[in-house]
Amino acid sequence: MEQHRSLSLLFLALAAGLAGGLAGGLVVVVAPGGREATEEVVTPTAVATAATPEATAVAIGSAERLQQAIERVLPAVVTVIADGVPRRNEDGAITQTRNVGSGIVIDDRGHIVTNFHVIDGAAEINVLLTTGEQRPAVVRSHDSPYSDLAVLSVAPEGLRSASWGDSSQLVPGEPVAALSAAGFAIGNSVSVGVVSATGRDWPRNAVILEDLVQTDAAVNSGDSGGALINAEGEVIGLLTTVVRGTSTGSPIQGISFAQSSNSLRPIVNDIVLFGSYVRPRLGIERPFRHHVELTPELSASQGIPLSLGALVIEVEARSAAEEAGVRVGDIVIAVNGVAIDLDNPFVNLLKPLGPGEMADLTVVRGGQQRSIAVLPRLE
């Protein structure tokens, strides 16, 4: 009853906002291309407005529809608990990392979508249902580093599932709700907001995430892998990242991103049907495991002569890159003639490669530039 009352208050606030319009003040804008958030103070022209009874009725009707959608989808959102490999520290004590995120049941066969970063490095994964029941989960497959997506599988009995929506139909200002797990508590959490923008790109962890849905619905730690839904109760995004500040350190609020449903559905469908989604695999493509994306600041601090590129720190054994002659310490500065820079990270340049397409890597080794042709394995 208390949860229903809280939801009702949220939706009354949403309805009032929709009926009365938007107030001015501090406006946070993501620049086209999503490279950097900037701040702009806007002083609106003073205009006396009053919501008509018809507008108020429409707004309340929209809010009620979204509330009903939330109540339908909430049972399909689960808690994902990912435990790392136990390790012994310097003091001899055994420690173990634990990540807690969210996931969405997407069909009646027990498939769950979540963010790859939630389950990365996990030795054991469990899923906590809204009923309090916990079930073991296995990773069906993932799409890292090309997107932040993983598909899990659990025993399907008694699960409630959600359905995908068409993210291309979203419009700015459209009401949406962010549904996520409540950690180890029974039940889930909800925040409401609007679509701020669609088709956004945003750099994170040496990869530019593409075709994101931007929303002002509050998203917090543990919400990764949760559902962004529309008023029809359809999943139109997978909650993925929150922007806390600009590249210059200025704090900002009200910017969260979800990977769009239309960008994820083909990947998920192939993983469910075939066990994987085909991507180019060289054996050096994963940031922080295989390579480190250089920046002018990092290069200056480490005495590296090049300010941009991908510094290879591991080459997978028997991989396409190893067979082609790529070595640890090589700095890849271009792929097929396109220079690696902040707008074109190494991963994003590899992403479009299709079957039989070579990756002609321009590499600097020992101060000498050379070309290494790698035929990626599509796995």
Q: Specify the amino acid at residue 20.
A: G
Q: What are 81's two structure tokens?
A: 């608990």
What's the N-to-C CA distance of the chain in angstroms? 49
**H or E stretch including 309?**
strand 309-312
Residues in the chain: 379
Q: What are phi and psi of 239, to 5 degrees?
A: -55, 130
| Residue among 369, 377, 373 at smallest CA distance from 325 | 373
Residue 106: burial class (beta carbons within 10 Å; 0-12, 13-18, 19+): buried
CA dihedral 214, 219, 224, 228 (to 10 degrees): -50
DSSP letter (8 states) at residue 341: B
Which residue among 148, 211, 223, 330 is the active-site one? 148
| Cβ–Cβ under 8 Å, residues 111 and 138 | no
- CA 153, CA 128: separation in Å to the nearest integer? 13
- CA 142, CA 268: separation in Å to the nearest integer? 9
Whether cis (ω within 30° of 0) applies to the bond prior to 53 is no
224 is catalytic: yes
276 is catalytic: no
148 is catalytic: yes
Which residue among 224, 256, 263, 319 is the active-site one? 224
**H or E stretch including 269?**
helix 261-274
Distances in Å between the Cα of 153 and the Cα atoms of 41, 136, 199 are: 47, 9, 29
- CA 265, CA 272: separation in Å to the nearest integer? 10
Strand ranges in 106-255 using DSSP code E only, listed in sequence order: 111-114, 122-128, 134-142, 150-153, 163-164, 175-181, 188-204, 207-215, 227-229, 234-242
| Cβ–Cβ under 8 Å, residues 70 and 84 | no
- CA 208, CA 231: separation in Å to the nearest integer? 29
Which residue among 117, 142, 290, 291 is the active-site one? 117
| Residue among 128, 148, 145 at smallest CA distance from 136 | 128
Catalytic positions are 117, 148, 224
